[in-house]
Amino acid sequence: MKKHILFVLPYLNQGGTEKQALSLIEGLRDRYTISLIAPDGKGAPQFRALPITQREFTRWDFNFFKGISELIKGIKEIHAEQAIDLVHVHGAHELMAAVRLALGKVPIIFTVHGYHGDSAEFSYRMSCWFSNRFANQVISVCEAEYKTLKELGLDTRKLHLIYNGVSEPTLDSYKSNKIAEKFNLDPTSQIILGTAARLNEAKGLTYLLQAFAAITPDKIGNKELRLAIAGTGELETSLKQEAQDLGISDRVIFAGYQDDLPNLMSLFDIFVLPSLQEACSLACAEAMSQAKPVVGTCVGGIAEQVSDRQTGFIVNPRDPDGLAARLIELINDQNLRDRFAKDGYARYRQLFSSEMMLDKTAQLYDS
């Protein structure tokens, strides 16, 4: 009988945590019996369509006492149907305590997906505390976070580095053309800069808008530029207003949340990641899988994904002038874009492919 793995997620939104967990479930369900317990959310339909055992519980930040009761009950119900051999908790360290209450000594693997905002350090410290007490093994998705967890006291005997990985996309030229028509993008006559991110402060998008505004015609000749931003979030209104204030709103496309991000990304000439906080960016890996040159900031795991001056450029965060300078260099040099694209794709195959992530995760499960 296949080993039974239970995935526990704190929410089912449309972010990187959910994408990575979904990739693991889809890629490993032939090797293992996989079950899932998670709250409802905007990202739930993709999970609910999977032919696996699933239960729901109320998000703890909505109703803690109801949520913890439903979580423990749901875990026990799944365990009664088939004994759980291993639990993989994603993102929320506090869920491990409930798993221990429900299943006793069943092994727990915990993946730290990165924390943002002013409380990030506190969250990392709490992850170390919970992991040292409840986790059997801990996955860090980039070396930068591995070092942070180690410095904050996580037992290094439990700690493993497994980069987030993505599958190489199957693109559809018809769909790409329809997306181009929808947003008035023309890859034959425009150089398209693009990004994909939640529209929140941690992603540094205000600095991208300022950098884009600084790329004036006298610096790039007669080239026609567009900036496409895929994503939603609490800063959407203010970012649109900033684009208006900067006089670039006619050349900036706010594409919203994209179910079909790969076909939109296929239109990009350059992918930009201006984050202020980041772990291992799935969007960056997706861009590399499509052989896109990347300009990113030297925060978190971005500098591990992008090899500076080999597969793209690494710049300082909150530095629109520096970001604009590197973008201008790429815009004006097709040969440099082509070289970065080729080397970036090779780096993706070496470190950030879905196959690499799945194999390393399976090795950890089996150990």
Tens of pLDDT along the chain (367 residues)?
899 999 999 999 888 899 999 999 999 999 999 999 999 999 899 999 999 999 999 999 999 999 999 999 999 999 999 999 999 999 999 999 999 999 999 999 999 998 888 888 999 999 999 999 999 999 999 999 999 999 999 999 999 999 999 999 999 999 999 999 999 999 999 999 999 999 999 999 999 999 999 999 999 998 999 999 999 999 999 999 999 999 999 999 999 999 899 999 999 999 999 999 998 999 999 999 999 999 999 999 999 999 999 999 999 999 999 999 999 999 999 999 999 999 999 999 999 999 999 999 999 999 9
Residues 6+ apart with CB under 8 A from 44: 12, 38
Task: Round to whole Å and give the CA distance between 224 and 150.
Answer: 47
pTM assigned to the model: 0.92
Which H or E run contains 314?
strand 312-315
State the number of CA atoms in the 13 A half-sphere of 76 facing the CB: 11
- State residue 118's pLDDT score: 81
Domains recognised in the chain with CATH numbers: 4-165+353-366 (3.40.50.2000), 173-351 (3.40.50.2000)
Evaluate whether 91 touches 9 at the Cβ level (below 8 Å). Answer: yes
99 token code pair: 């798993």
